[in-house]
Amino acid sequence: MSLKNLEGLNFQLSEEHIAVKDAARDFAQNDLLPGVIERDIHVKFPKEEAKKMGELGFMGMMVDAKYGGSGMDTLSYVLAMEEICKVDASAGVIMSVNNSLVCYGLAAYGSEEQKVRFLTPLASGQVIGAFCLSEPEAGSDATSQRTTAEDKGDHYLLNGTKNWITNGDSSSICLVMAQTNPELKHKGINCLIVEKGTPGFAIGNKEDKMGIRASDTHSLMFSDVKVPKENRIGAEGFGFKFAMSTLNGGRIGIAAQALGIAAGAFDLSVKYAKERKTFGKPIAEHQAIQFKLAEMRTKIEAARWMVYKAARDKDSGNDYVESAAMAKYYASEVAMWATTEAVQIHGGYGYVREFHVERMMRDAKITQIYEGTTEIQKMVIAREILK
């Protein structure tokens, strides 16, 4: 890390940042918390809650206001994600995909026509988007796209299957990576905007997941789907670069999600430790619990600084590939560890739904997997060190 990247490293929050954080906290406590356990049990998508996220400006936070967004910086987005994920990581990942992957990709690389037609309803929360990269045999290996987009002159003919698609059923607009020129390998991949309801576009069954159960995850199938050429993002063969650039920003969103999960579990653990009594006194007075809380707080604070640093790098126009990967790697590790400790502090109560921490532990695991596994993040970091 160069000294230049440390210049001005000050996370003093502005009044606007504090207002965003407070608004997200109020929404999480008042709107998300009351039904969060029921949505987890019944695998119920938070339709009304997602709609309100759009009304509050949380679905297109970094998009210019002229395209329906909130026009805020990445740090504001991270602050909101953290507060929302303290309560409901499922709502958080819905918000993250729409912001970090779909809206960001269109805002950064879409044509003016695409921004007006597709970005505006996405950023304003009128509709939800999905990012379609993973396939049955191409998860982390984005170069091995078997979904094809055959060039037919004025349109592409799209065929293939995408797996593990967040917002798969609830989305109206999908960004789909597909191979057009196999002989060019990754340089032959395109990103196409595909609208729900297009003939030949089918949605598979909802995945029955361990965690983030309220977010809908589906396979998407494309059978001779006709996609107009004007729905291609960027030049011919730009799809791979588009996906990699978009995923770099996506790591910041998932890092913020992991941070929120860890921080939420910590807050509940402190509250429980003060209330729960053993041997005639609150367990918070036992040194073993104090050591756990101290270590949790320290690691979460370190993760927070790494997430904020990645956000600041992106806002400052610095190269944020390394800091985003580091934040995602470390925050997800802390989330898994801290939620496990939270269950331990709660004892038997931590193993039942009503105390929330067992759900947080299940939710935390996915942060080590999507947007690239922990091992992928280490590869990205190493590549940045050695290049």
pLDDT, tens digit, 9 for 90 and up, residues 16-60: 999 999 999 999 999 999 999 999 999 999 999 999 999 999 999
Using the predicted structure, report yes or no on whether residue 2 has a pLDDT greater than 70. Answer: no
CA distance 176 to 55: 27
The string of pLDDT tens digits covering residues 101-122 is 999 999 999 999 999 999 999 9
Average pLDDT over residues 240-253: 95
Q: Residue 137's pLDDT band (boundaries 50, 70, 90)? A: confident
Residue 69 and residue 103 in contact, taking contact as beta carbons nearer than 8 Å: yes
Using the predicted structure, report yes or no on whether residue 178 has a pLDDT greater than 90. Answer: yes
Q: What is the pLDDT of residue 122?
A: 98
Using the predicted structure, report yes or no on whether residue 142 has a pLDDT greater than 80. Answer: no
Q: What is the pLDDT of residue 9?
A: 56
Structure tokens at 177: 């990576």
DSSP class per residue in 104-144: HHHHHH--HHHIIIIIHHHHTTSS-EEEE--BTTBSS-TT-
The structure tokens 């196409």 sit at: 192
Which of 112, 371, 375, 384 is an active site residue? Answer: 371
Dihedrals phi, psi of 372, to nearest 5 degrees: 100, 130
Using the predicted structure, report yes or no on whether residue 61 has a pLDDT greater than 80. Answer: yes
Q: What is the pLDDT of residue 143?
A: 77
Using the predicted structure, report yes or no on whether residue 264 has a pLDDT greater than 90. Answer: yes
Give 296-301's long-range contacts (Cβ < 8 A, gap of 24+). 296/262, 296/266, 296/269, 296/338, 296/341, 296/342, 297/266, 299/262, 299/334, 299/337, 299/338, 300/259, 300/262, 300/263, 300/266, 300/334, 300/338
What percent of the chain is predicted at pLDDT more than 70?
Answer: 96
Q: Residue 92's pLDDT band (boundaries 50, 70, 90)? A: very high
Q: What is the pLDDT of residue 78?
A: 98
Q: Residue 372's pLDDT band (boundaries 50, 70, 90)? A: confident
Average pLDDT of the chain is 95
Choose among 208, 257, 239: nearest CA to 89. Answer: 257
Give Cα separations from 339 to 81, 145, 234, 260, 361 (angstroms).
Answer: 18, 35, 41, 11, 5
Average pLDDT over residues 150-160: 97
371 assigned to active site: yes
Q: What is the pLDDT of residue 139?
A: 66
Using the predicted structure, report yes or no on whether residue 267 has a pLDDT greater than 70. Answer: yes
What percent of the chain is predicted at pLDDT more than 90?
Answer: 93
Q: Residue 322's pLDDT band (boundaries 50, 70, 90)? A: very high
Q: What is the pLDDT of residue 371?
A: 83
Using the predicted structure, report yes or no on whether residue 6 has a pLDDT greater than 50. Answer: no
Supply the pTM of this predicted model.
0.95
The string of pLDDT tens digits covering residues 329-355 is 999 999 999 999 999 999 999 999 999
Q: What is the pLDDT of residue 145?
A: 87
CA distance 107 to 67: 9
| Residues 250-279: b if buried by 16+ CB within 10 A, e if exposed | bbbbbbbbbbbbbbbbbebbbebbeeeeee
Q: Residue 144's pLDDT band (boundaries 50, 70, 90)? A: confident
Residue 208 and residue 362 in contact, taking contact as beta carbons nearer than 8 Å: no
- In the chain, the amino acid numbered 49 is E
The string of pLDDT tens digits covering residues 203-219 is 999 999 999 999 999 99
Dihedrals phi, psi of 266, to nearest 5 degrees: -65, -45
